[in-house]
Amino acid sequence: MAIDLRLVSHRLLQLILRPGFWFTTVVLALITVPHYTVSLPYPAFLNQLIDAIGLARPTFERVLYLAPIVWAGFLFGWRGAFFTSLVALGCMLPRIFIFSDSLADSLFETGAVFIIGNFLALGVASLRREREYRRKLETAQYELKESEASYRYLFENAHDAIWLHDLEGNFITVNKATAKLTGYSNEELSRMNVKSFLSDESLELAHQIRKKLLNDEVVEQPYEQRIFRRDGSEAYIQLTTSLEFDKGKPVAFHHIARDITEQKRMNENLHFYFQKATKAQEEERKRISHELHDDTIQSLVVLSRQLDALATSIQGLSPENRARLEELWRQIDSILQGVRRLSQDLRPATLDRLGLLSAVELLASEVTRYSKVATRVTLLGKEHRLPEEVAIALFRITQEALRNVWRHSGATRAEVTIDFTNSRTRITVSDNGKGFQVPEKMSDLAKQDKLGLAGMQERAQLIGGTLTVKSEPGKGTTVTVEAPG
């Protein structure tokens, strides 16, 4: 195995720079020098100590080598103790062979110092590791307590309602916002079940979410839920739910809820207002369309016929005057066609008389005639009569989609597919135009000045439908609206 010399040299440099290394080296030197200088006298108290414990001076000096070995074990672990014991062994062996009177006893003492020193060093190193472990454990426990206290403070004082309940729905812990949302105190909630707040419909939704989470299925979050407060009033919440685990097993559900009751009511009021405004707009369009058809168009038709009769009945009319009359007749006819087209745009009579399919087919033929964009209508399923508001909304969305095709897409052909089913109606408008980059959220259409598409989405929502737009630069656009009916 290759040895990384740079790594070895770096570690040796770190070892040499540590004060403990030099302290151990100095202690070894202080023990070794008198060990070989037999003539060097010890202080009187040290001689008395040696006599008291019944050891010869060489034996006592060998015992002293235990000190740097144990100290090295404390500072550097068992590797440091073993290396120091080898150095101590190298310091003791020459004296044994040169000065020792009893070679066997000296070798035994030296071996005992080597073995005992390493065992003591291992014990000290183990104690040190245990001490460090306990210190880290105490630090971790302190940090955990601090973290728990911080979490508890955030939990209790969070603006959103947060609670945990077990797999049966019994509350485990709740915060102040939950008590404020439900009208019950924390103590009362601790003895209650979430079923107390839910209607049958809401309970069914809760069961579906529970089943998906337990089966590790994807849950679209946040989701809306309707609950009942203590006073019997309804509240709407936007809810995020997750599972809590203990030893790998699910034990509770964790909920974070935001009260959106006022927002929901405001949206409903805005939706109602927009629905009424759209209905009034359609009624006004219908009235203007009928007036144009019954009054303006009829008057223009009469005037056109009178000019035609005048141009053919007057004898001796000069060619110039006859040409002027014919030009006036053509202008009136052009105005008549424009007014008819305007009347159709405002409220096509075909929609009220023959239904959505006929109105869309007429719209497609007009788009082909005036914009030169070849437009085809395809029917899927069996046509049936739709409620008036649904038919009008689908027609307006199709009308706006085709208007976008000829005004903005640069397409040469478009296709409208109407799919009738028993409970839903789907209309798809696709083209081969230049396309565009669709925003990630449909709500961002207005920000990108896609006001026509934003209006189409609002109309779809008014009838409980959905609108999807798929497009890429250079790959055309597909608009799909689906609504009940």
Measured CA to CA, the distance from residue 86 to residue 28 in angstroms comes to 12
Measured CA to CA, the distance from residue 414 to residue 378 in angstroms comes to 11
CB within 8 A of 379, min separation 6: which ones? 357, 418, 420
Q: Which two tokens stand for residue 89?
A: 């062994």
Residue with tokens 């601090």, as numbered in its chain? 146
CB within 8 A of 22, min separation 6: which ones? none
Q: What is the pLDDT of residue 429?
A: 92
Measured CA to CA, the distance from residue 220 to residue 224 in angstroms comes to 10
CA angle 146, 147, 150 (to 5 degrees): 85
Amino acid letter, residue 256:
I
Residue with tokens 């006592």, as numbered in its chain? 60
Could you tell me the mean pLDDT of each successive run of 10 residues in the chain, 485 residues long? 56 64 76 71 70 71 77 74 78 74 73 75 75 84 80 80 88 87 86 86 88 87 87 86 88 88 73 65 68 72 75 70 78 77 69 83 86 89 86 87 86 91 90 84 61 81 86 89 86
Contact 231, 183 (CB under 8 A): yes
Q: What is the pLDDT of residue 67?
A: 77
**CA dist 69 → 25, 33, 89, 110 (Å):** 11, 17, 11, 13
Contact 457, 438 (CB under 8 A): no
Q: What is the pLDDT of residue 393?
A: 85
Measured CA to CA, the distance from residue 419 to residue 150 in angstroms comes to 57
Residue with tokens 């109105």, as numbered in its chain? 359
Amino acid letter, residue 66:
L
Measured CA to CA, the distance from residue 124 to residue 448 in angstroms comes to 72
Strands 234-246 and 223-228: antiparallel
| 224 φ/ψ sector (left φ>0, alpha ψ -120 to 50, else beta) | beta
Q: Is the pTM of this model over 0.85?
A: no
b (16+ CB within 10 A) / e for 375-414: bebeeeeeeeebeebbbbbbbbbbbbbbebbbeebebeeb
Q: What is the pLDDT of residue 1?
A: 45
Measured CA to CA, the distance from residue 25 to residue 210 in angstroms comes to 68
Closest CA to 81 of 124, 128, 23: 124
Express each pLDDT in 148-197 by its tens digit: 777 777 778 788 888 888 988 898 888 888 888 888 888 888 888 888 88
Contact 397, 427 (CB under 8 A): yes
Q: What is the pLDDT of residue 75?
A: 73
Amino acid letter, residue 416:
V
CB within 8 A of 396, min separation 6: which ones? 456, 459
